[in-house]
Amino acid sequence: MADGKQVETFRGVAHPWLCDAMGHLSTRHYVGMFDDAAWHLVLLLGDAPHRAKENQRGWADVRHEIEYLHEVPVGALVIIRSALVRIGSKSITCKYEMRNAETEVLCATMISTSVRFDLKARASIQLEPELRKSMEAWLAA
C-alpha cells in the first residue's frame, strides 16, 4: 500500500476525562479521535457526510487495525494526519497517524477499511464514478 497525500484531519487534547486510571489516553478515546479524523478525510475525498440522509449513502467501517506506539499522557496535544492508501470497487483503506503536537513523536497509527453503504438497503454498494475520480486524485498526489 502506497500512501497517498497526507493531510491534517484532527487536533485535540488528552483531557483528564479522556484518560484512564493510569493517566494516559484511554483506548476508547483513541478510536473516537481517529473516527473524527475519518469524517474530515471523507469530506476532503469528495463525500459530504452531512448529505448522507438526503442521498441515502454513507460508510460502514469494517476493519480497524490500531498500533499503540507511544503513551499519550493527560494534557498532551495531539494531531492526526490521514491518507487514502487504497481504493477498491466498494471500499477504501485509509491510514491515520496520531502524533504528539509538541514533539512530533508518533503515538499511534490506524489502518481502516470502510465500505460504501446504501443506508436504505443496508448493504454495500459500488463507489460512485464521480467519488472514485475525486479519490483517485488524492491517491495519486
9-19: average pLDDT = 98
CATH number attached to the domain at 6-140: 3.10.129.10
pLDDT in tens, 86-112: 999 999 999 999 999 999 999 999 999
pLDDT at 141: 66
Question: Which pLDDT band holds residue 1 (cuts at 50, 70, 90)?
Answer: very low
How far apart CA 8 and CA 34 sit, in angstroms, is 12
Residue 2 above 80 pLDDT?
A: no
How far apart CA 45 and CA 92 sit, in angstroms, is 11
pLDDT in tens, 24-53: 999 999 999 999 999 999 999 999 888 888
How many Cβ atoms sit within 10 Å of the Cβ of residue 18? 18
How far apart CA 38 and CA 42 sit, in angstroms, is 6
The C-alpha cell that represents 5 in the structure block: 497525500
Residue 69 above 90 pLDDT?
A: yes
Residue 76 above 90 pLDDT?
A: yes
pLDDT at 13: 98
Is pTM, for the whole model, over 0.75? yes
pLDDT in tens, 52-68: 888 899 999 999 999 99
